[in-house]
Structure 1
């Protein structure tokens, strides 16, 4: 390596003392840069220019869906009051679904609220949905509860939107849980209808036979009536009486089955109730008193530190450039 470059490297070695000397020498320009940055960010972060955001939270637990099952309502057994991880996952899926987001866009007129002109956007729904996703979160906290968080320039809008999200999650979750119960109820309704028709047909047949052969009275009296008849009519009455006895026994069994089916139908019907909530709301969202962002002092402090670092780097580069330029000038004179 040439002696000139070795000399430049040794003479231009940098240390903390040299750094502090440079900063002190250029203190006025650095302070001016920092002052301008502080003044600019103070003005920009003013609430009239940079609108503040307010945050509202709603906290809830999903209830155990088995609490409204027929086994829990009509049989003995302990059931957990709150739902498990599967119930939480179902709630989170509902909360992040597009139907819910589209409902919020329509309900709160988010195109106007977010100042998005659909005629100027290539994908207006996508744009407003991304803006909504940036302003709302639904997640599970460390205690197993689901937390709905909404931020907005309007404190009341943030609270109303958070509560509406919880209400719509409850409605969708209730509908999802009741769909399977409704299908089972439909099956029981079909069985109930068939069993009622069966009992009615047997009742009509018994009535017809008794009316035709004059077989009125209890089953015990049928034998006596048959013995009083003679000839072909007696044999017909004998066959009719046997048929009536069989039908009476079948009717008793069908009525028992009908009663059991009716009981199961009523049990499942009682579990399908839209008035029963599927969420336990621990904390409803209320309008925030203080803004959540931007944090003005943090913005001002950050800008001051960044301007100081950038200003210091600039003066160091200037100093090194002056030194290298002077070194080249000395070499030129020496040659």
Structure 2
């Protein structure tokens, strides 16, 4: 004989016959799930949102002047991966567990015991969620029964990520700062030596770099020589002798004048070289000092490697459990399982009765 077909509508008479058992199972499931849902503690979530920055923009070796350097907000895949790795790393977790005494909070045992440490770490990782959202920001979420503690842990973990992220380049920053200090010291020493040489050269050659100094010297020589020629033409020997001595003083180094043509010509080449060297060192020294000060400030200031958009705040509502959903889900699942069980029982009974009828007397 062919098997009797069944449909969804044909289940209703079966449910009617077993309604007492089904109602009892559903009622029991409702009561048990309600009790369990009421016993479950409230869980609160706190979320902090931040952008990672490129640490190269805060490295001293990237500083040239105090102007023109911009802090680049996240977007680079390597910066995001680095922050995610640090956030889920063992050192960060151990620091937070120790700081907030999570062994005691999770009731897993005393710190230092391997099983207790592992249990606290597992519980911490289970409550932590750090993801990269679609807007290139990092969302760090921590959940706990204590909403104040959840917010504190989320903010502290963001601070730990920032600190560890800075440590990655801290040693390199110190080395670069030492290089900047050595460069500034060297240029400052060379600048002082060149300045002393420049002062000595001015005194020796009488070249002080005054405006139109050579023009004044040439004018005096021409005028003195012209006056000498007129005095000689007039036969004024006394005046001519005085003008001759004045002309010698203007043209020779041993004439007695500090500013004279011979010394000026001799000193012009040397002084021009010293002037060029002095000006070059002065510009480089100013740049080196600015770079060193910027690098020193960057290292001492500990520029943050992340940009926090939203700090974690204590939640105003619980995240879970959703108690009504637990009760409704338990009732629906229990009802569905009950229908399946009683349907299988009905099929078994019908097949058994059919088998007995088919047996010969």
Note whether the superposition's TM-score is higher than 0.5. Answer: yes
Shift of residue 121, structure 1, vs aligned partner = 6.2
For 1:246 and 1:80, how far apart are their aligned partners in 2? 43
1:275: how far off? 5.3
Partner of 2:239: none
Pair 1:24-2:16 in alignment: yes
Q: Unmatched 5+ residue regions in structure 2?
A: 208-248, 255-266
Are 1:107 and 2:99 counterparts? yes
Residue of structure 2 equivalent to 1:84: 75
1:272, distance to aligned residue in structure 2 (A): 2.8
| CA distances 1:311-334 after superposition (whole Å, capped 9, x unpaired) | 1122112212221222232233x3
The separation in 2 between residues aligned to 1:81 and 1:72, in whole angstroms, is: 17
Give a deviation string over 1:249-305, Cα, whole Å, max 9, x none: 898466665444333322322333435433332222111122111111111111112
Structure 1's 119 and 165: CA in aligned 2 closer, same or farther, altered over 3 A?
A: closer
8 Å contact 1:66–1:72 — kept in the other structure? no
Give the equivalent residue in structure 1 for 2:67.
74
What SS does the aligned partner of 1:321 have? helix
Gaps of 5+ in 1: 1-6, 207-214, 229-240
Mapped to 2, the partners of 1:267 and 1:17 lie a distance apart of 81
User: Does the CA-based 8 Å contact 1:59-1:148 persist in structure 2?
Assistant: yes
C-alpha distance in 2, partners of 1:130/1:313? 38
1:219 to partner: Cα distance: 3.0
Give the 4+ runs in structure 1 shifted more than 6 A: 199-204, 244-251
Residue matched to 1:278: 305
Matched residues in 2 for 1:286 and 1:120: separation?
A: 31
Q: Over the residues paired in the alignment, what is the CA RMSD in angstroms?
A: 3.5
Query: Residues of 2 paired with 1:58 and 1:147: CA distance?
Result: 6
CA distance in 2, matches of 1:113, 1:134: 15
- Which secondary structure does the structure 1 equivalent of 2:9 belong to? helix
Q: CA deviation at 1:198?
A: 5.6
Q: Quote how far apart the aligned CAs of 1:185 are.
A: 1.2
Q: Is the 8 A contact 1:70 1:271 kept in 2?
A: no
Secondary structure at the counterpart of residue 74 of structure 1: coil
C-alpha change, 1:72 and 1:330, in structure 2 (3 Å) is: farther
In the TM superposition, 1:1-335 aligns within 5 A as: 7=1, 9-10=2-3, 12-46=4-38, 49-63=39-53, 65=55, 68=58, 69-71=62-64, 73-75=66-68, 79=70, 82-86=73-77, 87-118=79-110, 122-196=114-188, 218-220=203-205, 252=278, 257-274=284-301, 276-332=303-359, 334-335=360-361
* 1:40-90 Cα shifts (integer Å, max 9, x gaps): 0101111xx211211111112234546655257324x8x475222243233
Q: Which moved more, 1:117-126 or 1:291-300?
A: 117-126
Q: TM-score, normalised by structure 2?
A: 0.70
Bigger Cα displacement from structure 2, 21-30 vs 268-277: 268-277
Alignment size in residue pairs: 299
Shift of 1:114: 0.9
Tell whether the 8 Å contact from 2:142 to 2:151 is kept in structure 1 after alignment: yes
Select the structure of larger CA radius of gyration: 2
Give the distance between the partners of 1:323 and 1:267, measured in 2 at CA. 90
Q: Distance in 2 between matches of 1:97 and 1:135?
A: 14
- Aligned equivalents of 1:119, 1:90: Cα separation in 2: 29
Q: CA deviation at 1:217?
A: 7.4
Q: 1:140 to 1:320 in 2, by over 3 A?
A: same
What TM-score does the superposition give when structure 1 sets the normalisation length? 0.75
Q: Is the 8 A contact 1:202 1:247 kept in 2?
A: no
Distance 1:23 1:121 in 2: 55
